Amino acid sequence: MSKGIAENSENYQPGLSIDCVIFGFHDNQLKVLLIKTPYEDKWSLPGGFVPLDQDIDTAAVTVLNDRTGIEGIFLRQFATFGRVKRNDKHFEEVVLEHFKIPEKARKWFTQRFVTIGYYALVDFLKAIPQKETSGESIEWIDHKEVPELILDHKEILDKALQTLRIELNLMPIGYNLLPEKFTMPELQKLYETILDKKLDRRNFLRKINNIGILNKLEEKKSNVAHKAPNLYVFDKEKYDEVLKNGLNQGW
């Protein structure tokens, strides 16, 4: 939340907010982007309010950029969270005083908020937070080591991860998350990290080849201790076609 919002709350949709779950994958690690404000000991997802003059999807991009400085990420809406008292006592006196919110605007912040969840899966070395808000921390944290979060943000995070795992059965992943040339074990590790389970090597190879989005190269991976595995690249045209039409298989 910024001072600008506090002073111009009438320009935002009452009772509606957005929270973004940004998963980052790199070097076989799945991380989530979290924020900690100077007035709160707990961490939170990047979130904010919806401008009256913006569509919901546009507002999600705006919120993410305002809170983290990250832009150019495709966000997918995955769920809405609206328990009656989900934000009960969140904007307490210490928070309202911190942002110097005038008395007439305080009722707006203490009303019930329904939040819309968005998620994205990105290479966290490329999606580098640029935000320079004084006193606010932004960090990539391993998804298995997430500390206590504010409000129902743990529930939102868990639902986003569940959605991501389900959608692995409906669409391909890997483009922009792996090097341009990669090995089959590296691709399998990507899936295993997100699914949090081991996959049978032969079954994975059969299923991924049946999708038809890979081109096997004549090259082999160099500088490896054991037998050098073949390198692959994504067939971008076929990848986009499958992405558009969807998959129907399980992992």
Please report which confidence band the pLDDT of residue 97 belongs to, taking 50, 70 and 90 as the band edges: low
Residues 207-236 have a mean pLDDT of 89
Residue 169: predicted pLDDT: 87
CB 120 within 8 A of CB 22: yes
Q: pLDDT tens for residues 106-165?
A: 777 778 899 999 999 998 888 888 766 567 889 999 999 999 999 999 999 999 999 999
DSSP 3-state assignment of 17? strand
What pTM does this model have? 0.87
Domains for the chain: give ranges and CATH numbers: 3-167 (3.90.79.10), 182-245 (1.10.10.10)
Alpha-carbon distances, residue 64 vs 6, 127, 247 (angstroms): 18, 12, 29
4 pLDDT higher than 70: no
Helix (H) or strand (E) holding 117: strand 114-122
Is residue 29 scored above 60 in pLDDT?
A: yes
Q: Are the beta carbons of 73 and 122 closer than 8 angstroms?
A: yes
Residue 62 has pLDDT above 90, yes or no: yes
The confidence score (pLDDT) of residue 217 equals: 95
| Chain centroid to CA 172 | 17
What is the percentage of the chain residues whose pLDDT exceeds 70? 89
Residues making up the chain, counted from first to last = 251
**Residue of 102, 119, 109, 132 lying closest to 64 (CA atoms):** 119
The arithmetic mean of pLDDT across residues 242-250, rounded, is 84
What are the tokens at 245? 């039409």
Q: What is the mean pLDDT of residues 80-99?
A: 76
